[in-house]
Amino acid sequence: MTRSALLVMDVQNFTIARVAAPPTYLTRLASTIASARAASIPVIYVVAQFRPGAPEAHARNRTFVRNPTCAGWIEGSASAAVHAAVAPQDGDVVVTKRRVSAFAGTDLEIVLRSLGVERVVVAGVATSGCVLSTVRQAADGDYGVVVVRDLCLDPDEEVQRVLMEKVFVKQAEVVDSEEWVAGLDL
């Protein structure tokens, strides 16, 4: 049986507020996380955080340098914390990233390999950012990839639709959370 891990990416106070996530999103995500834990599937939180002053934001990196929102992801700030409704618990892994992809410059690959993970199940904010970059890099790394459609949010509804219906289906299985949970051995 292929070992999976649930990646919960950028579900931080700042990003949840920025995309105006509906309360049902956090409720659905919390339920899915609980189901993963009940099925002994590792839950890995990936958080975007920068040191004060964001020295990691290179002048050529348009995502961060032109984006004044880096201040929302400063290490130790309340805005950079994982939302309380879905906060990590003992036994969960937290990976800190300083780029868009969960893999770029992090130890995620080592964690996945050490846990024997062959398939990543992806949820997070924003679909056009961390979800897209992580899905592409995971697929290139020969992981099986599952994108949980209703657990991914993007501020642009058309971008969300195109990514889910036309892009991700080429490299991943795209399912809703109820469908994914129904397939777990609980």
pLDDT score of 156 more than 60: yes
pLDDT score of 144 more than 70: yes
Question: Which of 10, 150, 152, 154 does the annotation list as catalytic?
Answer: 10
Told to judge if 142 belongs to the known catalytic residues of this protein, a careful annotator would answer: no
pLDDT score of 107 more than 70: yes
Q: How many structural domains are present in the chain?
A: 1
Distances (CA, A) of 157 to 15, 19, 22, 143: 16, 11, 14, 27
Element holding 113 (H helix, E strand): helix 108-115
Q: What is the pTM of this model?
A: 0.93
Burial class of residue 31 (count of CB atoms within 10 Å of its CB; 0-12, 13-18, 19+) = middle
Q: What is the CATH number of the domain that holds 60?
A: 3.40.50.850
Q: How far is CA 62 from the centre of its chain?
A: 21
The range of the structural domain enclosing residue 172 comes to 4-182
Provide the Cα torsion 95, 91, 1, 46; round to 10°.
Answer: -20
pLDDT score of 119 more than 80: yes
Told to judge if 130 belongs to the known catalytic residues of this protein, a careful annotator would answer: yes
Give the model confidence (pLDDT) of 56-91 as tens digits: 776 676 666 555 556 677 889 999 999 999 999 999
Question: Which of 90, 92, 130, 142 does the annotation list as catalytic?
Answer: 130
Told to judge if 10 belongs to the known catalytic residues of this protein, a careful annotator would answer: yes
